[in-house]
Structure 1
Amino acid sequence: MVEDRTEHLDNLFHALANGTRREIVSLLAARPHNVGELAPRFDMSLAAVSKHVKSLERAGLINREVSGRNHICSLKPEALGEAFQWLSAYEHFWQDRLDALERVLAQANGKTRGRSKQK
């Protein structure tokens, strides 16, 4: 079960690691598109866009409904929630780092102001 979840997250982050696929996700967040509508937005062939769509499908990020020759793609937002859930486990780390940076900058800013007052 843990292996299935790990493999699923691997597929999810692999799919999101590519800029074209992230752009497709952004487009699908606005509304469903058919693959033919997506292809002209990218400097690549319909077959290449279709491969990106298949990667997003494997990751569980999109649904594809086939109606004749039309392949309608829609976003599955719950899959993005899974990625967010995994990333949120590291939120405390980043918050701690940002707090430390804020203290260093405040300290440096205080020293700079102190020097200008002395002049």
Structure 2
Amino acid sequence: MGFFIAMFLCNLLMPLIMLIGGYCMYKNPPKEINGLVGYRTTMSKKNKDTWTFAHDYCGRLWIKLGLIILIPTILVQIPFVHSGDDAIGIVTLIVEAVQLAILLGSIVPVEKALKRTFDENGVRR
């Protein structure tokens, strides 16, 4: 049971990180463009306007995605409460791989929104 609880908590990390990180990006984005903290892509670092837009958009998206993946993450784990460690480990790997794909996939809509809103020089259309 201890292994199940540990893996259950590990599976909750990604949705919680997305919720907390999304809230921080949306409400309190990094003030200055930098290479260490924040949503850092070539397009988002063009100027202050693209930087702010990217953090606002990505923050709201991460909050939505974090809430969306939180419930299925919990529901997928429940049937495996009394399973063996191998089954729990495999389910954990699958759940975390899907969560990671969703997290990395969130880059695509943010970059599309940036390209719709700004030209290649970072000037609003």
TM-score by length of 1: 0.29
Pick the structure with greater CA Rg: 1
Larger RCO (CA under 8 A, 6+ residues apart): 2
Richer in strand (by share): 1
Name the TM-score, length of structure 2 as normaliser.
Answer: 0.28
